[in-house]
Amino acid sequence: MPRGVGAAGGGPDARSATDAILATSSRGTDVFGALELAAQFFAAYPEAGDRTLVVLSDMVQSANGMHLGAVDDWSEAEISALLARAPNVDLRGVRVYVVGAGATTLARMTPAEIAGIRSFWTRWFEEQGARIVFYGANLPRFPLPEVPTAQPSPTGG
């Protein structure tokens, strides 16, 4: 463990905690795990005002039995099947900024794969009650001005 990391400068207790975390962690990118932790944080502060989540990730979930980088066919049926296997996380009312999506995987992923991953996450966040404000490789400024969602007219036009 690096010097100065953990309790009391990285003493035995810090090493034990680190060993315990590493023993139970999975290898790969666990986006869902991070989102579950964020939901726990939001739940711990129910009286908090606006809820904003900034995710710094390429969004290629590759842990706990789901590897979005290995999907061959990004059809609607495949996305629906993946969503059925994905965990449910209470993110009702949360505004989400995803920064880094596609940025680190462009060299080995096709535009269709990157678009498929984006479609998956867009639907997943919607199903969890969250609203994506930004999803992309880089964030030019923060916060972004929010554009109101267009409401369908009662006449259908």
The residue among 52 and 139 whose pLDDT is bigger is 52
14 occurs within a structural domain: no
On average, the pLDDT of the chain sits at: 81
Residue 94 has pLDDT above 80, yes or no: yes
3-state SS, the chain, equals CCCCCCHHHCCHHHHHHHHHHHHHCCCCCCHHHHHHHHHHHHHHCCCCCCEEEEEECCCCCEECCEEHHHCCCCCHHHHHHHHHHCCCCCCCCEEEEEECCCCCCCCCCCHHHHHHHHHHHHHHHHHCCCEEEEEECCCCCCCCCCCCCCCCCCCCC
Say if 37 falls within a structural domain: yes
In a domain, 125, yes or no: yes
Domain containing residue 119: 28-136
Residue 124 covered by a domain = yes
In a domain, 62, yes or no: yes
The tally of domains found in the chain comes to 1
Residue 17 lies in a domain: no
7 belongs to a structural domain = no
20 in a domain, yes or no?
no
Segment 34-60 mean pLDDT = 93
Residue 3 has pLDDT above 50, yes or no: no
